[in-house]
Structure 1
């Protein structure tokens, strides 16, 4: 179905921006809280072996507990925030969850309308008054107060739109992805005096001048996808440039990627799972775009190093689910080119553990930490289970 991006029909009031909350979205999860257990049912027994059923049940719980009016969602449940709606990054991950469900063979057609509905919910965040245009971090007037643009937020949405385009052929999704990439290029550091000069900044917010793996890896992925779809060499040039910057400035001696560098040259050396995911995904896509085996070898080496790292000392479980869902998806992107059964097996084991240890069967919500359930973590689990229901033959449609 053709979509006209930029036209919002939402009539919702309110919204406050809190910079501290935006930063908190990138913080690690606390220790998982035990989920309340109820007696097993036949339905629950079926879902223990059926990833599509798991994803369906978890998404139904998301709609039940996180709905915040027509088309928008809460940040958490129960909601303890002043904001009546989620920031755009959590919202985008719910849209990705719906898109992943729509791609499941056999049942996907039943989810197509939901994926369209969720895509429409992006429009209250779209800011067409800036040059370049892009998505604000929070809903804009009259729905809310808007917020600073984050380049990674926009990249996640761009990748979501690419996957939607590859499933549906919706040209407006491709056009919007191109607009987003123009914003990402605008975020490139052009000051040669900076330590590790170059790289895409994380945000336009004045309180951060960090350049992150996660603002360059997804940018490289988006550029590579756009090149593969359009054959416009400028997309490939920028994708290679973003990838090279991250590899030069963020690659650690252990073969994994650090998080970010500031303008003083200080590197934040946490090795989040999603940073590994976006870089191995970017390497895979650049291999598809160039046929240069260096990129494929990079991706395979990173997959090997990351599996060894995260499967030691329970590190994968200690990573936030919102990061692991991105890591797993990119392992499947690599799997589409260089099959390795360990990728899906690791993903399945994580899903099984989450289902048995932190899911509340009474609500269908995942309690990875004390306190409210976040939209990010619930959406992450839906994404994981939905993709476990995809056949390998469809992995090349992922973005």
Structure 2
């Protein structure tokens, strides 16, 4: 069963000089609602997922985007859908035999995506059930913070206890720090988030350009070296989620250094000829005529979501123009007549999929939050 309730977006005539234009606030709101309702044509009410044929975590980030929209606008338009999704997805996951109910999965990152969405649901509703589940998920992930290799860090793949990567560790940082900020008098989550950041900052995953590679190479029986950066892809979402964690740590402690560090990574992305050619965020897999998987298409919106959080936390709001220019470019170039968006924002619409649409929704919400 599909949920199809499309709103028509305003038809705006934009010149090629999109960076100099600003869509009026009401038009940004219309465009955002239209993009969400296009996204929701993927929603399957039976499974409570956006496109049940693709990986489970995509529904977690789709849920987060819709919750962010409601928090930004004060709307409760999609609250029943959000509650329905959570109610169904709480059940034990048969394809994650090592995990269990309440969003505990075989990978720490999948668990954390859903836990962060639950915290947003708690903020919106005040229902402590959502907070309790997020705390349960945090405890589950913390069990896999293993000092036996690399002197700490969360492992990614639970069944074989392998691979300390950026995304799992960044998501854990954001989750633990967010929990602290929502629980008066907490010290447990604050101490864990500080421990996590100190480990991550010294892990080697942050390279000399202040960008973050995918993960760590660990020594084996034939390798006496210490854990070190694997020099794998610099995915945009790895540059983004860490910003969210550092903003939450700043909120928790008041320490300016966390924002200063976040700004170095954000500036590295914004000023990168590879990640921001012509000032427009571009996933590395989308260079030239190459094509990203649904994974890669979803990453840019995650970056923009966290960049907007950092922008709001900084007194000079240094990334407002960058966010607006990306939104204007995407709306002008990559949108089709049904409010679906392509994956390369500076190029014509190149077909729809869930990852592309969630990224577009996240960018539009980031822009809406600037108004």
TM above 0.5:
yes
CA RMSD of aligned residues (A): 3.0
The count of corresponding residues between Structure 1 and Structure 2 is 327
Q: Cα deviation per residue 1:193-214 (whole Å; 9 max; x = unaligned)?
A: x3x33111112143x7211111
List aligned pairs for 1:125-140, cutoff 5 A: 135=103
Match 2:33 to one of 53, 56, 71: 56
Cα distance between partner residues in 2 of 1:99 and 1:46: 30
Q: Could you say what secondary structure the match of 1:336 adopts?
A: helix
CA contact (8 A) 1:366 1:377 kept: yes
Cα distance between partner residues in 2 of 1:228 and 1:69: 33
Which residue pairs with 2:133 in the alignment? 176
Which residue pairs with 2:307 in the alignment? 331
CA contact (8 A) 1:88 1:125 kept: no
Q: Could you say what secondary structure the match of 2:44 adopts?
A: coil
Match 1:113 to one of 63, 69, 80: 80
Q: Cα deviation per residue 1:32-85 (whole Å; 9 max; x = unaligned)?
A: xxxxxxxxx983239965222112112222222x1334253454xxxxxxxx53
Which residue pairs with 1:390 in the alignment? 369
Q: Does 1:364 align with 2:339?
A: yes
**Aligned CA distance change for structure 1 residues 159 and 70 (closer, same or farther; 3 Å):** same
Which residue pairs with 1:211 in the alignment? 164
**Aligned CA distance change for structure 1 residues 365 and 132 (closer, same or farther; 3 Å):** closer
Cα distance between partner residues in 1 of 2:330 and 2:117: 24
Match 2:191 to one of 237, 262, 267: 237
List aligned pairs for 1:1-399, cutoff 5 A: 43-45=10-12, 49=24, 50-64=27-41, 66-73=42-49, 75=51, 85-105=53-73, 108-124=75-91, 135=103, 149-191=106-148, 194=149, 196-206=150-160, 209-230=162-183, 231-249=185-203, 250-264=205-219, 265=227, 267-309=230-272, 310-312=275-277, 316-319=281-284, 320-361=296-337, 363-368=338-343, 373-390=352-369
Which residue pairs with 2:288 in the alignment? none
CA contact (8 A) 1:158 1:177 kept: yes
Cα distance between partner residues in 2 of 1:131 and 1:60: 32
CA contact (8 A) 1:214 1:259 kept: yes
| CA positional deviation for 1:150 | 1.5
Greater mean alpha carbon deviation, residues 265-274 or residues 245-254: 265-274
Q: Cα deviation per residue 1:323-382 (whole Å; 9 max; x = unaligned)?
A: 222222222222332134342322222222222222221x32223279863212212211
CA contact (8 A) 1:156 1:218 kept: yes
5+ residue gaps, structure 1, are 1-10, 12-40, 76-83, 138-148, 393-399
Greater mean alpha carbon deviation, residues 150-159 or residues 126-135: 126-135
CA contact (8 A) 2:92 2:100 kept: no
| CA positional deviation for 1:222 | 0.8
**Aligned CA distance change for structure 1 residues 44 and 133 (closer, same or farther; 3 Å):** same
Cα distance between partner residues in 1 of 2:329 and 2:78: 26
CA contact (8 A) 2:90 2:102 kept: no
The one of the two structures with greater contact order (alpha-carbon pairs below 8 A, sep at least 6) is: 1
Q: Could you say what secondary structure the match of 1:364 adopts?
A: coil
CA contact (8 A) 2:109 2:167 kept: yes
5+ residue gaps, structure 2, are 2-7, 15-22, 220-226, 285-295
Task: Compute the TM-score of the two structures, normalised by the length of structure 1.
Answer: 0.73
**Aligned CA distance change for structure 1 residues 42 and 63 (closer, same or farther; 3 Å):** closer
| CA positional deviation for 1:253 | 0.7
